[in-house]
């Protein structure tokens, strides 16, 4: 009977382990196809690289913002702890570069004014229809939570940005359609937004395509999860707390059982 039970336990363990192993290799197959880089924010202790976040904002605002909105972000988020941590003055002057419609004023008319810290990021288009009309019928998705909306989002966006290439000879592309290795179906209506030296980084970093792809993806990863650092800190504290509690429980168990005579 005991042997029989042992066998059942053994085979259950075996099946369980094989399932874990197989599913992992399937996932890694999938992940292997995407490019990756040394993300500072991955792992249990991951933190965002401030300089990369600030450069990433620069890439977003100088390149992507002409087509993609980030409607859940406010200018004040740029100076918050755990983010790019621009100073409040810097965030104010960034905001002041944009115009928002406000009102109505006392005469019942809408007016425009420079954006303030409390304003949301200004949308490049008046509405979705205009966005699609300007992009050959394709809608440039809002980027506030895009990293979360795609599986393995950071690696996916990084790969997509570096995945433009000439189409294989048997594929003829329509006007305004581009070939990208990582896009679903390999066809995308976004022209390659990056090229070496496209922008001049404020901090003097060399603006290669890879560097810009990495920085803007880091910025988008923060936007999708602005409290990641606080979450990692809380997780770390919880684990320390659990270790201490388990140690105390173990020691008190030892102490209590000391009073009972061992049988053998
Ligand atoms: C000229 C306008 C334009 C610019 C500039 C632009 N995009 Fe896009 N983007 C688009 C359009 C249009 C789509 C939708 C493409 C489609 O569905 O075929 C898109 C789609 C995307 C997607 C989603 C692909 C998917 O899985 O659906 C990502 C990610 C993206 N863009 C990132 C960026 C980043 C990062 C930048 C800046 C470095 C940028 N884009 C600059 C127009 C633009």
The atom number, within ligand 1, closest to the CA of 135 reads 12
* 157 & 239 share domain: no
List the domain range (segments joined by +) for residue 156: 35-73+120-226
- Taking CA atoms only, the protein residue closest to ligand 1 atom 23 is 141
Give me ligand 1 centre to Cα 68, in Å: 7
Give me ligand 1 centre to Cα 217, in Å: 12
- Taking CA atoms only, the protein residue closest to ligand 1 atom 6 is 64
* 176 & 236 share domain: no
Kindly state the average pLDDT of the residues 84-93.
Answer: 97
Task: Note whether residue 26 is domain-resident.
Answer: no
* Pair 192, 178: CB distance under 8 Å: yes
Q: How confident is residue 10, by pLDDT bands cut at 50, 70 and 90? A: confident
The atom number, within ligand 1, closest to the CA of 66 reads 5
- Helix/strand/coil for 101: strand
* 131 & 192 share domain: yes
Kindly state the average pLDDT of the residues 209-219.
Answer: 98
Give me ligand 1 centre to Cα 102, in Å: 29
How many domains are contained in the chain? 2
Say if residue 233's pLDDT is above 70: yes
Task: Note whether residue 142 is domain-resident.
Answer: yes
* 148 & 206 share domain: yes
Give me ligand 1 centre to Cα 67, in Å: 8
* 126 & 240 share domain: no
- Taking CA atoms only, the protein residue closest to ligand 1 atom 25 is 183
User: How many angstroms from the chain centroid is the CA of residue 149?
Assistant: 9
Say what the pLDDT of residue 259 is.
Answer: 81
> What pTM did the predictor assign?
0.85
**Nearest-angstrom CA–CA distance, 62 and 119:** 19
* Pair 99, 115: CB distance under 8 Å: yes
**Nearest-angstrom CA–CA distance, 141 and 71:** 11
> Comparing C-alpha atoms, which of 206, 214, 92 is closest to residue 161?
214
The atom number, within ligand 1, closest to the CA of 146 reads 29
Q: How confident is residue 29, by pLDDT bands cut at 50, 70 and 90? A: very low
Compute the half-sphere exposure of residue 147: CA atoms within 13 Å on the CB side of its CA.
18
Task: Note whether residue 221 is domain-resident.
Answer: yes
- Helix/strand/coil for 251: helix
Say what the pLDDT of residue 91 is.
Answer: 97
**Nearest-angstrom CA–CA distance, 258 and 260:** 6
Task: Note whether residue 11 is domain-resident.
Answer: no
**Nearest-angstrom CA–CA distance, 208 and 112:** 37
The atom number, within ligand 1, closest to the CA of 194 reads 38
Say if residue 13's pLDDT is above 70: no
Q: Is 138 in the pocket of ligand 1 (CB under 6 A)?
A: yes
Kindly state the average pLDDT of the residues 64-93.
Answer: 97
Task: Note whether residue 236 is domain-resident.
Answer: yes
- H helix count then E strand count, the chain: 8, 4
Say if residue 25's pLDDT is above 70: no
* 217 & 234 share domain: no
The atom number, within ligand 1, closest to the CA of 157 reads 29
Say if residue 140's pLDDT is above 80: yes
> Comparing C-alpha atoms, which of 126, 63, 61, 128 is closest to residue 95?
61
* 53 & 134 share domain: yes
* 215 & 233 share domain: no
Could you tell me if residue 171 is left (phi over 0), alpha (psi between -120 and 50 degrees) or otherwise beta?
beta
Output the six-digit token pair for 241: 């707390």
Say what the pLDDT of residue 239 is.
Answer: 95
* 39 & 162 share domain: yes
What are 232-237's contacts with CB under 8 Å, separation 24+? 232/44, 232/45, 232/46, 232/47, 235/44, 236/44, 236/45
- Taking CA atoms only, the protein residue closest to ligand 1 atom 36 is 64
CATH of residue 213: 1.10.760.10
Say what the pLDDT of residue 196 is.
Answer: 98
DSSP string over 30-86: HHHHS-----TT-STT----HHHHHHHHHHHHHTGGGT---TT-BGGGGGSTTTT--
Mean pLDDT score of the chain? 91
Say what the pLDDT of residue 32 is.
Answer: 41
Q: How confident is residue 40, by pLDDT bands cut at 50, 70 and 90? A: very high
* 141 & 251 share domain: no
Kindly state the average pLDDT of the residues 156-174.
Answer: 95
Task: Note whether residue 86 is domain-resident.
Answer: no
Q: How confident is residue 44, by pLDDT bands cut at 50, 70 and 90? A: confident
- Taking CA atoms only, the protein residue closest to ligand 1 atom 40 is 64
* 179 & 252 share domain: no
Task: Note whether residue 91 is domain-resident.
Answer: no
Task: Note whether residue 42 is domain-resident.
Answer: yes
Dihedral, 57, 229, 69, 213 alpha carbons, nearest 10: 50
Say if residue 51's pLDDT is above 70: yes
Instruction: Render pLDDT for 108-131 as a digit per residue (tens, 0 to 9).
Output: 999 999 999 999 999 999 999 999
Q: Is 224 in the pocket of ligand 1 (CB under 6 A)?
A: no
Backbone angles phi, psi at 113, to 5 degrees: -145, 160
* 212 & 129 share domain: yes
Say what the pLDDT of residue 23 is.
Answer: 59
Say what the pLDDT of residue 22 is.
Answer: 60
- Taking CA atoms only, the protein residue closest to ligand 1 atom 33 is 64
């Amino acid at each position: 009977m005991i042997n029989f039970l042992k066998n059942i336990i053994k085979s259950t363990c075996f099946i369980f382990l094989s399932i874990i192993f197989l599913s992992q290799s399937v996932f890694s197959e999938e992940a292997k196809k995407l490019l990756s880089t040394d993300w500072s924010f991955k792992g249990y202790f991951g933190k965002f690289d401030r300089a990369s976040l600030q450069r990433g904002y620069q890439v977003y605002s100088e390149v992507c913002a002409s087509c993609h909105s980030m409607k859940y972000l406010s200018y004040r988020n740029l100076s918050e702890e755990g983010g790019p941590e621009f100073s409040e003055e810097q965030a104010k002057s960034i905001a002041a570069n944009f115009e928002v419609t406000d009102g109505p004023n006392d005469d019942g008319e809408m007016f425009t004014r420079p954006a303030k810290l409390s304003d949301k990021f200004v949308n490049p288009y008046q509405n979705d229809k205009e966005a699609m009309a300007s992009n050959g019928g394709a809608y440039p998705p809002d980027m506030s939570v895009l990293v979360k909306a795609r599986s393995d989002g950071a690696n996916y966006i990084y790969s997509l940005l570096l995945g433009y290439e000439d189409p294989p000879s048997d594929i003829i592309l329509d006007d305004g359609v581009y070939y990208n290795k990582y896009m679903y179906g390999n066809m995308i209506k976004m022209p390659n937004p990056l090229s070496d030296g496209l922008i001049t980084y404020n901090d003097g970093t060399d603006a290669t395509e890879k560097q810009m792809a990495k920085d803007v993806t880091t910025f988008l990863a923060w936007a999708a999860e602005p409290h990641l650092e606080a979450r990692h800190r809380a997780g770390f504290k919880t684990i320390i707390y659990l270790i201490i509690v388990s140690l105390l429980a173990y020691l008190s168990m030892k102490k209590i059982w000391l009073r009972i005579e061992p049988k053998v």
